[in-house]
Structure formats: C-alpha cells, structure tokens
Structure 1
C-alpha cells in the first residue's frame, strides 16, 4: 500500500506544481487555492507512504521523480528549453534516487 500512496503523492505534487504556474504569483484565486489543496493532499499521501516505506527512500523518490516529471512537463507543455546540461542534471537526480534505493535495500537483513 505504501507504494500506491507514494505514487498518489507524486501525482498530486506534480499537479500542484503545474497549477502553480496558473496562479500567476498568487494573483489568481482559484489556481492558488487548488495549488495548496493538491500540495496538502500530496503531503498527506506521503505521510501515509512513510508508514511502511523508509523515509529517506520515499522522500527521495517523491522529490526526485517529481523533479524529473515537472522538468519533462515544462519542456513538453510549457515550451521550456532543453539542453545537455539540463539532461545531465536530471540524469544525476535519477541516479541519486536509484543509489538511495539500492543503499536502502542492501542494508536490510535476511
């Protein structure tokens, strides 16, 4: 169940971040309210996830995958520029999350 909660937390965080763009610096009421609702729900599901998943791994996946997904959304949906440095940095985030996952799983007994 922890992985489902983590997946929901990631989707909600991604949605909240995308809505942030439409709040235009909190100058538009409904997108601003929705942003806080989605972030609040995201943190709620993240807190459910860490009941059964390791905190460091869950948070790294939540923040790392959220960063990768919002970077991808920025490029595909908002026309943000992509360059080699951006690709390398996103790859390093993915490698870091994978490293934490492997470090967590290799430290378990049995």
Structure 2
C-alpha cells in the first residue's frame, strides 16, 4: 500500500509543478489555489507512504520521480524542449531510484 501512496504523492507533486508554472508568480488565484491544494494532498500521501519507507529513501524517490515526471509532462504537453542533457539527467535519476530500491530500504 505504501507504493500506492507514494505514487499518488508523485502525481500530486507533478500537478504542483504544472500549477505553479501557470500561477504566474502566484498572481492567478485559481492556479495558486490548485498549487496549494495539490501540495497539501501530495504531502498527505507522502506522509502515509513514509509510515513504511525510510524517510530518506521515500523522500528521495518522491522528489526524483516527481522531477522526472514534470520534465516529461513539460516536454509532451507544454512545448518544452527535451534536450539530450535532460535525457541523460533523467537516466541518472532513474538509475538512482533503482539503486535505492535495490538497497532493500523500502
């Protein structure tokens, strides 16, 4: 169940990134409220996941997978450029997450 909670937390953290970019410095009320609400829900589910995960491992997976997700959403839906350097960075992050999982800490 902790992986499900972590997955939900990741989805809401990706939403935070998207909403915050649309909030234009928090001058757009709807996007600002979406940012805050998504952040709260994502943090709630992260907290539930951390009941099982080691805090360092769970938090690292949450932030890493969310970061990769935001980059991919930006490239696929927001006309942001996915360069070879970003692609290498994504591969390194995925390798790190796999390494954390293989450490047996979760």
Same fold by TM-score greater than 0.5 = yes
Partner of 1:92: 92
Q: How does 1:1-110 map to 2 (within 5 A)?
A: 1-103=1-103, 105=104
**TM-score of the pair, normalised by structure 1:** 0.89
**TM-score of the pair, normalised by structure 2:** 0.92
Deviation at 1:56, TM superposition (A): 2.1
Q: Measure the CA separation in 1 of the matches of 2:2 and 2:89.
A: 28
Please give the per-residue CA displacement for 1:1-24, whole angstroms capped at 9, x wherever unaligned.
211111111111111211112111
Deviation at 1:57, TM superposition (A): 2.0
| RMSD of aligned alpha carbons | 1.5
- Could you say which structure has the larger radius of gyration? 1
Q: Measure the CA separation in 2 of the matches of 1:37 and 1:75.
A: 24
Q: Which runs of 4+ in 1 moved over 6 A?
A: none
Q: Measure the CA separation in 2 of the matches of 1:40 and 1:73.
A: 21
